[in-house]
């Protein structure tokens, strides 16, 4: 009988011992983020952190970014017709010895189209009307004019500066519809494009006005890619700060943007990273604040990515104190008003008795 009961009593004793150990140990939550419970991940899938930063993908321009556009080549489409205040370079061979037209004259060969639409070639040659003419027509008109004075002049004309063309170089804000306004040259859509794609789109658009235009586009102000720092307010209202992403921020950089941990906050911090709706779960990256500040640990000093929410949790005791204060404040105010009202009534009654006594005297 003993041999038959022994195999049954030993498991019962072991079960009782296990239950006792659990009861003495108490209830304890399992920390799924504890390092010993995780298997090491390959470097390729590890979350970017202070010493393992990654380069962000090619920047996509979006409103309200600010672009810097510089025109490297801005030559008008032929045939260009001269306008007032254009500058022409005129070279003439066979002029008078004391009245050269070209690099040896006082103007250096450069002549401005005056307000009357003419070019003044000097006191010996007079003026030639050139406004509205092409370069070839200006050359022929100048030759005919000089043949009245010179025997066989040879004329060469070039456009040195076109004052009628509005400059494109400048700063441009990406509008809500994703375009930049180039004033008289129209609008160009640059939203959702990289810098190279935006440059190609700009040059293609300006080719309607210029001969083989060359442009350089850069981002002057990064406004569209941001992350958020949310500080829980301990029942006094949360604080949210919007910070642009430059590609090199870590958790410590984010905390420094709000001046560090406030008196209402705890050291419980995490990053909530946006996930697709189809994922059906939250991407939470817990942060060991004590380790990354006091111990200079880089493991949880994660790199900030566009759209991240750095959440700084509230201090539980401060939150409870503020909650109790909110509940008791109306009662304290009502009690104070009642006490003040009662005191006022008693003072009036006492004042009335003293007044009656004095009146009887």
pLDDT of residue 8: 39
What the block records as the tokens of 44 is 């390729």
What is residue 156's predicted lDDT score, i.e. its pLDDT? 94
Mark whether 232 and 298 lie in a shared domain: yes
- Same domain assignment for residues 244 and 140: no
Residue 344 confidence (pLDDT): 83
39 falls in which pLDDT band (50, 70, 90)? low
Asked if residue 249 belongs to a domain, the reply is: yes
Domain containing 123 — which CATH number? Answer: 3.30.1950.10
Give residue-wise pLDDT tens across range 195-236: 999 999 999 999 998 889 999 999 999 999 999 999 999 888
pLDDT at 121: 92
Distances in Å between the Cα of 178 and the Cα atoms of 64, 69, 137, 173, 189 are 8, 16, 43, 10, 6
pLDDT digits (tens, 9 = 90+) for 276-298: 777 777 889 999 999 999 999 98
What range does the domain containing 136 cover?
Answer: 87-161
Q: Are 249 and 147 in the same domain? A: no
Q: Are residues 264 and 183 in the same domain?
A: no
Q: Give the pLDDT confidence score for residue 97 in this predicted structure.
A: 86
Structurally, how many domains does the chain consist of?
3
Check whether residue 155 and residue 108 sit in a common domain.
yes
């Amino acid at each position: 009988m003993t041999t038959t009961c022994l195999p049954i009593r030993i498991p019962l004793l072991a079960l009782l011992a296990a239950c006792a150990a659990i009861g003495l140990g108490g209830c304890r939550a399992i920390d799924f983020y504890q390092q010993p419970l995780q298997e090491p991940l390959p470097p390729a899938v590890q979350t970017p952190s202070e010493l393992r930063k990654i380069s962000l993908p090619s920047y996509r321009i979006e409103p309200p970014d600010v672009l810097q556009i510089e025109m490297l080549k801005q030559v008008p489409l032929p045939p260009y017709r001269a306008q007032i205040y254009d500058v022409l370079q005129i070279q003439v061979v066979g002029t008078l010895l004391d009245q050269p037209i070209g690099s040896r004259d006082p103007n250096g060969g450069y002549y401005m189209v005056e307000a009357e639409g003419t070019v003044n070639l000097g006191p010996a040659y007079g003026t030639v009307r050139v406004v509205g003419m092409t370069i070839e027509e200006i050359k022929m008109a100048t030759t005919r004019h000089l043949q009245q004075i010179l025997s066989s002049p040879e004329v060469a004309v070039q456009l040195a500066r076109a004052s009628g063309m509005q400059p494109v170089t400048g700063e441009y804000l990406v509008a809500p519809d994703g375009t930049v306004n180039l004033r008289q040259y129209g609008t160009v859509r640059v939203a959702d494009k990289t810098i190279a794609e935006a440059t190609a789109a700009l040059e293609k658009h300006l080719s309607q006005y210029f001969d083989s235009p060359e442009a350089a586009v850069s981002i002057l102000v990064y406004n569209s890619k941001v992350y958020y720092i949310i500080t829980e307010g301990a029942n006094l209202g949360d604080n949210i700060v919007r910070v642009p992403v430059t590609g090199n921020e870590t958790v410590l950089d984010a905390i420094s943007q709000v001046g560090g941990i406030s008196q209402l906050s705890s050291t419980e911090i995490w990053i909530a990273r946006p996930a697709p709706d189809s994922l059906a779960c939250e991407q939470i990256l817990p942060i060991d604040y004590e380790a990354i500040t006091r111990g200079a640990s880089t493991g949880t000093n994660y790199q900030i990515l566009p759209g991240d929410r750095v959440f700084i949790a509230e201090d539980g005791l401060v939150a409870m104190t503020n909650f109790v204060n909110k509940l008791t404040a109306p009662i304290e105010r009502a009690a104070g008003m009642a006490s003040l009202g009662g005191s006022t009534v008693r003072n009036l009654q006492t004042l009335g008795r003293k007044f009656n006594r004095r009146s009887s005297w």
